[in-house]
C-alpha cells in the first residue's frame, strides 16, 4: 500500500493541473474507490498536502510532498513486495554481494524463514536476466554476469522513478555517496560546449548508466577480449573529456571498453544544435541512404493509409536523425527509457496508434522490434508535426467589414491577427456589407458597424479592438470550433454504429475472448474478411490497444469491406492484457473512410479524459441510449 501511495503522489507531482480519480487509478493500478481511500489516508497523515475539488486532485505544496515521499521511502519495508525489493537493493548496492540471511531478517523485523520465502520469489523475478541467488552457510550469494546485474539495477531505478522520472532526488537516494547533480552538470556543460543538445529523459537515461557504472566499479571484471569498434572521433573526444572530469571527482578510471559504451550511448541520444542547416546532400551524408529510404517509405504509407502528409522539411530532418540514432541503439542493444510513454499513449491515442503503424514499417524494413518506450518516442515526433498542421488547417476563416479607408482596415486586421494568429485567418476585408455575397466558405463575420444578416456567427466590434472586442471574437471562434466538431462527429455516429454490433455486459473472459466474439460477428455479417481477427491480434502483439479503461482494437491497415464500429460496455471490467477496461470500441474501417479514423480517435480521447462522460456511457441501458449519450457529447 505504501508503494502505491508514493506512486500516487509522484503522479500528482508530475502534473501541473487537476487529475481525476479515473486517471490516477489507471496509473496506480487500482480502482477509483481505492484512490479516494488513499487520498483520505494521506491527508489524515499529512494534512494540506493535496487539494481536492470537483475537478479532481492537485498537489498543494511540492517541496513538502517530496520531503514526505522521502520519509515514506526510508521507512523499513513491511510488505512482501517491499521486502523483496529491499533484498535486491542490498545485493546490488551493498559493498558485498554476499548478504547474511539473519541480518536481513533482523533489519526487516521478520523471521529468517520469511526472508527465505521472499528470496524464492525474487529468484523467479530475476531469472529472465539470467541471474540467480544461491544460499551458502546461511548467506545469500548473488550470481550472474555484471552486465545483467547492471541491467536489473537500471530497471529497478526506472520502475521506482517513472512517475517522476525527471526528479534527481530519487536517483540520489539510490546512490547517496555519488554527487548526481555534479555529474549531470558535467554532462550538460560538456555537450553544450561542443554544440550538442540532449533531451531531458535521454539525459536521465545516460546519467543512470554512468552512476551504475561508478557504483559497481569495484565489482567489474575487465573484458580484455571484447571487440571495440570504431566510433565517431569527435564523440570520442567528448567522452574522454566527460570521463576525465568525472574521474577527478569520484576517483575512478573508465576502461576503454566502458568509454566505448559511453560513446554509443551519447551518439544515440544527442542532436547537433545546427541540425536545421542540413541540405538534402548533407543530411544524406549524416544519416545515410538507408535511413532516407526508410523515411520515404514511411511518408508514402502514412499518406496512403492515413492521408497525413509528413513532407515538412524540419520534420524530415528531425525524424531522419532520430531514426539514425534508433537503428544504432538497436544494433548495439541499447534500451532507451521513455517516462512519458503511458501519458502519450493515454492522452494521444491516435498519435500513438499512428506510431505503432510506423513501428511496424520500421520492423519490416530493419528487422528490429521496438519497445513501447521507443514507440512513444516516435509519437513525440509525429505528434509535434500533426499539431503544427492542425494549427494551420483548422483555423476559422473570417471576413472583416470595415467601411473606413484602406490604411485603417489594415491596422484593424493586424490588431486582430496579432491576438488570434493561431486560430483565425482573414480571407477578405471589405468596405460594404453587400460584398460578402461574393464570398464563399467563411465561418465568421467581424464588423465595425451594425449589419443585418441571417448569418449565425457575427462579432460586432469597435473601431479600436479593445478587450471587450477580443472577448467577442474569442467567443465566436470557440463556438465555431465546437459546431464543426459536433457536426462532423454526429454525422459519423449515426452511420458507423450498428445495433447488431452492440454488446452490453457481455461475459468476456479477456481481450482474446472479446476480439474473437466481436470480430466473428463482423465477419459473419460481411463487414470484414475472415483474417480480420488475426490482424487485430497482430496489432495487440506490437502494443496493447487499451487506453485508460477503454480499449480500441483495430488492425494496422484499414482493411474493412464496409466501415463500422463494434461496441462493448461492461460494468465489470474486462482484463485486457495488463489493464482492466470497461468500454471496447472495435474499429473496422474501410480505406475510403480513413479521415473518420482520426476524428473518432480524437472524439474517444475526449471521452477518456472526462470521468463524468465515461460514467454516463457505462450507464447506457440499451443501444439507443448509448447513441443518445454519445451525441450529447458532440
Q: Please check whether residue 408 lies inside any domain of the structure.
A: yes
Is 80 exceeded by the pLDDT of residue 159? Answer: no
Question: 69 and 85 share a domain?
Answer: no
H-helix or E-strand containing 349? helix 349-366
Residue 237 makes CB contacts below 8 A (sequence gap 6+) with none
Q: Where are the beta strands (DSSP E) in 341-422?
A: 396-401
Question: 333 and 404 share a domain?
Answer: no
Question: 215 and 108 share a domain?
Answer: no
CATH number at residue 385: 1.10.1790.10
Report how far residue 571's alpha carbon sits from residue 593's, in angstroms, rounded to the nearest whole number: 31
Q: Please check whether residue 547 lies inside any domain of the structure.
A: yes
Question: 317 and 388 share a domain?
Answer: yes
Beta bridge partners of 575: 510, 580
Question: 514 and 555 share a domain?
Answer: yes
Range of the domain at 532: 490-633
Report how far residue 334's alpha carbon sits from residue 608's, in angstroms, rounded to the nearest whole number: 34
Question: 410 and 302 share a domain?
Answer: no
Q: What is the pLDDT of residue 333?
A: 80
Q: Please check whether residue 482 lies inside any domain of the structure.
A: no
SS3 23: helix
What's the pTM?
0.47
Question: 535 and 412 share a domain?
Answer: no
Of 345, 374, 392, which closes a domain? 392
Is 70 exceeded by the pLDDT of residue 268? Answer: no
Q: What is the pLDDT of residue 89?
A: 84
Is 80 exceeded by the pLDDT of residue 19? Answer: yes
Q: Please check whether residue 280 lies inside any domain of the structure.
A: yes
Residue 407 makes CB contacts below 8 A (sequence gap 6+) with none
Instruction: Give the model's confidence band at 26: pLDDT under 50 very low, under 70 low, under 90 confident, else very high.
Output: low
Q: Please check whether residue 476 lies inside any domain of the structure.
A: no
Cβ density class 279-312: b for 16+ within 10 Å, e for less: eeeebeeebeeebbebbeebbebbeebbebebee
Of 448, 465, 482, which closes a domain? 465
Question: 135 and 168 share a domain?
Answer: no
CATH number at residue 97: 1.10.10.10
- The per-residue pLDDT for range 163-202, each reduced to its tens digit, is 444 456 667 777 778 888 888 888 888 888 887 767 666 7
Q: What's the DSSP call for residue 194?
A: T
Q: Where are the beta strands (DSSP E) in 387-455?
A: 396-401, 424-430, 444-447
Is 70 exceeded by the pLDDT of residue 501? Answer: yes
Q: What is the pLDDT of residue 634?
A: 67
* β-bridge pairing 56-59 and 50-53: antiparallel
Question: 134 and 239 share a domain?
Answer: no
CATH number at residue 427: 3.40.50
CA distances from 163 to 6, 22, 27, 256, 414 (A): 10, 16, 9, 35, 44
Of 360, 376, 392, which closes a domain? 392
Q: What is the pLDDT of residue 513?
A: 94
Using CB atoms within 10 A of its CB, is residue 584 exposed (0-12), middle (13-18) or buried (19+)?
A: buried
Helix spans in 29-94 (H): 32-45, 62-74, 80-93
Question: 235 and 136 share a domain?
Answer: no
Q: Please check whether residue 481 lies inside any domain of the structure.
A: no
Q: Please check whether residue 479 lies inside any domain of the structure.
A: no
Question: 446 and 563 share a domain?
Answer: no
Neighbours of 138 (CB within 10 A): 11
CA distances from 436 to 395, 429, 439 (A): 19, 9, 5
Q: How many domains does the chain have?
A: 6
- The per-residue pLDDT for range 387-410, each reduced to its tens digit, is 656 555 567 888 998 886 555 667
Question: 55 and 180 share a domain?
Answer: no
Q: Please check whether residue 483 lies inside any domain of the structure.
A: no
Greater pLDDT, 622 or 217: 622
Amino acid at each position: 500500500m505504501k508503494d502505491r501511495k508514493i506512486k500516487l503522489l509522484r503522479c500528482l507531482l508530475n502534473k501541473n493541473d487537476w487529475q481525476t480519480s479515473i486517471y490516477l487509478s489507471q496509473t496506480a493500478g487500482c480502482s477509483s474507490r481505492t484512490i479516494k481511500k488513499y487520498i483520505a489516508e494521506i491527508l489524515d497523515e499529512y494534512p494540506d498536502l493535496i487539494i481536492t475539488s470537483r475537478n479532481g486532485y492537485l498537489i498543494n505544496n511540492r517541496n513538502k510532498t517530496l520531503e514526505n515521499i522521502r520519509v515514506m521511502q526510508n521507512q523499513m519495508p513491511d510488505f512482501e513486495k517491499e521486502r523483496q525489493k529491499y533484498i535486491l537493493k542490498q545485493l546490488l548496492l551493498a559493498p558485498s554481494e554476499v548478504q547474511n540471511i539473519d541480518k536481513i531478517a533482523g533489519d526487516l523485523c521478520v523471521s529468517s524463514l520469511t526472508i527465505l520465502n521472499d528470496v524464492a520469489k525474487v529468484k523467479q523475478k530475476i531469472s529472465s536476466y539470467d541471474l540467480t541467488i544461491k544460499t551458502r552457510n546461511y548467506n545469500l550469494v548473488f550470481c550472474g554476469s555484471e552486465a545483467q546485474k547492471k541491467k536489473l539495477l537500471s530497471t529497478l531505478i526506472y520502475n521506482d522513478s517513472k512517475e517522476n522520472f525527471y526528479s534527481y532526488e530519487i536517483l540520489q537516494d539510490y546512490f547517496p555517496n555519488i554527487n548526481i547533480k555534479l555529474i549531470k552538470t558535467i554532462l550538460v556543460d560538456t555537450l553544450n560546449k561542443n554544440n550538442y543538445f540532449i533531451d531531458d529523459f535521454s539525459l536521465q537515461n545516460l546519467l543512470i548508466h554512468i552512476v551504475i557504472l561508478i557504483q559497481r566499479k569495484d565489482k567489474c571484471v575487465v573484458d580484455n577480449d571484447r571487440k571495440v569498434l570504431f566510433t565517431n572521433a569527435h564523440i570520442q573526444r567528448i567522452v574522454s573529456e566527460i570521463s576525465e572530469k568525472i574521474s577527478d571527482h569520484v576517483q575512478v578510471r573508465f576502461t576503454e571498453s566502458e568509454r566505448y559504451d559511453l560513446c554509443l550511448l551519447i551518439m544515440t541520444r544527442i542532436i547537433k544544435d545546427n541540425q536545421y542547416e542540413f541540405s538534402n546532400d548533407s543530411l544524406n551524408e549524416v544519416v545515410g541512404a538507408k535511413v532516407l529510404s526508410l523515411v520515404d517509405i514511411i511518408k508514402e504509407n502514412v499518406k496512403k493509409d492515413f492521408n497525413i502528409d509528413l513532407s515538412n522539411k524540419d520534420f524530415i530532418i528531425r525524424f531522419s536523425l532520430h531514426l539514425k540514432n534508433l537503428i544504432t541503439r538497436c544494433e548495439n542493444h541499447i534500451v532507451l527509457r521513455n517516462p512519458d510513454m503511458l501519458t502519450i499513449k493515454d492522452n494521444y491515442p491516435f498519435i500513438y496508434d499512428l506510431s505503432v503503424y510506423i513501428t511496424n514499417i520500421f520492423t519490416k524494413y530493419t528487422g528490429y522490434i521496438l519497445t513501447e518506450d521507443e514507440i512513444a518516442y516516435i509519437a513525440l515526433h509525429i505528434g509535434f508535426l500533426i499539431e503544427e498542421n492542425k494549427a494551420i488547417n483548422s483555423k476559422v476563416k473570417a471576413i472583416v467589414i470595415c467601411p473606413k479607408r484602406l490604411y485603417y482596415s489594415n491596422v484593424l486586421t493586424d490588431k486582430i491577427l496579432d491576438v488570434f494568429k493561431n486560430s483565425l485567418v482573414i480571407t477578405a476585408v471589405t468596405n460594404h456589407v453587400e460584398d460578402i455575397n461574393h464570398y464563399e466558405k467563411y465561418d465568421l463575420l467581424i464588423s465595425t458597424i451594425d449589419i443585418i444578416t441571417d448569418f449565425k456567427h457575427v462579432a460586432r466590434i469597435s473601431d479600436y479592438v479593445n478587450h471587450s472586442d477580443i472577448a467577442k471574437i474569442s467567443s465566436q471562434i470557440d463556438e465555431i470550433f465546437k459546431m464543426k466538431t459536433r457536426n462532423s462527429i454526429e454525422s459519423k455516429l449515426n452511420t458507423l454504429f450498428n445495433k447488431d454490433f452492440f454488446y452490453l455486459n457481455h461475459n468476456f473472459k479477456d481481450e482474446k475472448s472479446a476480439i474473437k466474439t466481436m470480430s466473428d460477428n463482423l465477419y459473419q455479417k460481411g463487414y470484414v474478411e475472415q483474417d480480420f481477427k488475426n490482424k487485430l491480434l497482430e496489432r495487440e502483439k506490437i502494443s496493447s490497444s487499451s487506453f485508460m479503461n477503454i480499449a480500441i482494437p483495430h488492425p494496422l491497415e484499414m482493411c474493412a469491406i464496409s466501415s463500422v464500429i463494434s461496441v462493448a460496455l461492461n460494468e465489470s471490467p474486462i482484463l485486457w492484457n495488463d489493464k482492466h477496461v470497461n468500454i471496447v470500441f472495435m474499429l473496422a474501417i474501410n480505406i475510403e473512410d480513413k479521415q473518420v479514423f482520426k476524428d473518432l480517435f480524437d472524439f474517444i480521447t475526449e471521452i477518456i479524459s472526462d470521468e463524468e462522460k465515461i460514467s454516463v456511457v457505462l450507464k447506457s441501458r440499451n443501444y439507443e441510449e448509448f447513441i443518445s449519450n454519445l451525441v450529447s457529447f458532440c
